[in-house]
A and B are shown apart, each in its own frame.
Chain A
């Protein structure tokens, strides 16, 4: 069985990845916290599988482009691995709004949240994610793409086959 690793930036994404794995929308795989914009992959490289067939998925936000050079350096360091960037259109709330066909406010109110911080906190703690995201179409998640990669001359996304 090929090893699959998902790297997420924040706890909300971790929660969503676990939910999607459980729902068998995406492949099973290990999840690890890692932010390509902030952290150095060199520090984690010893833990990455050597097998080229292993699949490494990085779920990234594109609304706050922090340190583009570090981001590029990290990708350079990952060259010999089979990696795929799962690019969120802006951020998680925006993705959820899109796939659930709700405005941001409607999404927040689904979680009894008044603002982004409250939503984040309640999303992480939610024990009934299934019921709250019941009407969402997960086939649309991360499907829109952005021009972020083209704009930054990033050519990476060899094998994005994380969906089941």
Chain B
């Protein structure tokens, strides 16, 4: 599925926050290929979204919420919601506009929760039309009547829906069952585990050697019944990765350990079909050059009808040759606000946004006065 728009209210630190994952006009010679639906080329969506902002500006929270949405659309209970409601005395809501490219549909789902359960659900869906551009498609969706409604007056004999979609349980296919997504969060430590299912030794070797030039080779041990990779160093040291688990991670630097999870993520992208991919500050320990090089690799390997979300603090990422609409800045004063530079007129794609960010044009720089007061 493809996220087109997302409105979040009273969840985490989001209050009336709006994210737009569409862009109005195709860019000539864009460095991102296929930033539109394959079968509906007039539907422009952001294939690459780089989320930047100060610490605690909501980047990870956004990823967690999007992952919850993916699960919710498949009829799963999202019981973590109550603890993320900001004002516990008020309802929280999410409105998501999205595409299921396989079903060739555009959908809009508006859900309201309180501390106890789902309060209301409004579901709209239209068939995509080749002749409609994005604007018309969205406007037709807004004007359409709900296909399904759940609220106090329309309970469908469900008294307590919990934190699950009633529309789904009533038989509405909100999303394809085999939808692909992969979310990796900065605060979830899984770096010493490699997913053996999507394992590619060449990618592993190239990435590990880039992180640590004292690694001489990475090979699969073919004579073992277990799935074992052996990482050899020029000094004769060895690290074994058995069924995806690094047996002696101490031999690796922090960045190299981190790279294992990145490898896993890249394997996932290259091995499967298109999907939603979210990588949250997973290269915080990497050298800037390596981070940018890997980011370039991920973008290159993205399949059509995919969407990649990436969070970072690295200024150098702003110097990459990417359309300005690929960047979304997040800032938090009282609440989180999303800033889309292309909507503010920063559309010169031959110019870096770095200067604007450094001059705090978007108000996204953290205030360091309190640190300086310690001097």
Say whether A128 faces chain B, with CB atoms less than 8 Å apart. Answer: no
Which B residues contact A (CB, under 8 angstroms)? 29, 31-33, 292-293, 296, 299-300, 319-322, 350-352
Q: CB distance B350 to A46 under 8 Å?
A: no
A81 to chain B, nearest CB (A): 10
Q: CA A50 – CA B296 in complex, angstroms?
A: 15
For A46, the chain B residues whose CB sits under 8 A away are 31-32, 296, 299, 320-322
Q: Can you name 20 A-B pairs with beta carbons within 8 Å? A: A42-B31, A42-B33, A43-B296, A43-B300, A44-B296, A46-B299, A46-B320, A46-B321, A47-B292, A47-B296, A47-B320, A47-B321, A48-B321, A49-B319, A49-B321, A50-B319, A50-B351, A50-B352, A77-B29, A80-B350
For B352, the chain A residues whose CB sits under 8 A away are 50-51
Q: CA A50 – CA B354 in complex, angstroms?
A: 11
For A44, the chain B residues whose CB sits under 8 A away are 296
Q: CA A31 – CA B343 in complex, angstroms?
A: 36
Q: Mark A32-51, 1 if CB is under 8 A from B, else 0.
A: 00000000001111111111
Chain A residue total in the interface (Cβ 8 A): 12
Which A residues contact B (CB, under 8 angstroms)? 42-51, 77, 80
Q: CA A91 – CA B29 in complex, angstroms?
A: 33
Given contacts A50-B319, A50-B321, contact A45 B351 (CB under 8 A): no
Q: CA A43 – CA B322 in complex, angstroms?
A: 12
Q: CA A48 – CA B319 in complex, angstroms?
A: 9
Q: CA A50 – CA B318 in complex, angstroms?
A: 11
Q: CA A77 – CA B29 in complex, angstroms?
A: 9
For B319, the chain A residues whose CB sits under 8 A away are 49-50
Q: CA A50 – CA B31 in complex, angstroms?
A: 12
A65 to chain B, nearest CB (A): 26
Q: Which residue among A43, A45, A46 has the maximum number of chain B CB atoms within 10 Å of its CB?
A: A46
A119 to chain B, nearest CB (A): 23
For B300, the chain A residues whose CB sits under 8 A away are 43
For A50, the chain B residues whose CB sits under 8 A away are 319, 321, 350-352
For A51, the chain B residues whose CB sits under 8 A away are 352
Known A46-B31, A47-B296; further 17 A-B contacts with Cβ < 8 A:
A42-B31, A43-B296, A43-B300, A46-B32, A46-B320, A46-B321, A46-B322, A47-B292, A47-B293, A47-B321, A48-B321, A49-B319, A50-B319, A50-B350, A51-B352, A77-B29, A80-B350
B315 to chain A, nearest CB (A): 14
A151 to chain B, nearest CB (A): 28
A146 to chain B, nearest CB (A): 30
For A80, the chain B residues whose CB sits under 8 A away are 350
- Among residues of A, the one whose C-beta sits closest to the C-beta of B299 is A46
- Among residues of B, the one whose C-beta sits closest to the C-beta of A52 is B350
B346 to chain A, nearest CB (A): 13
For B33, the chain A residues whose CB sits under 8 A away are 42
Closest 5 CB pairs of A and B: A46-B31, A46-B321, A46-B296, A45-B31, A46-B320
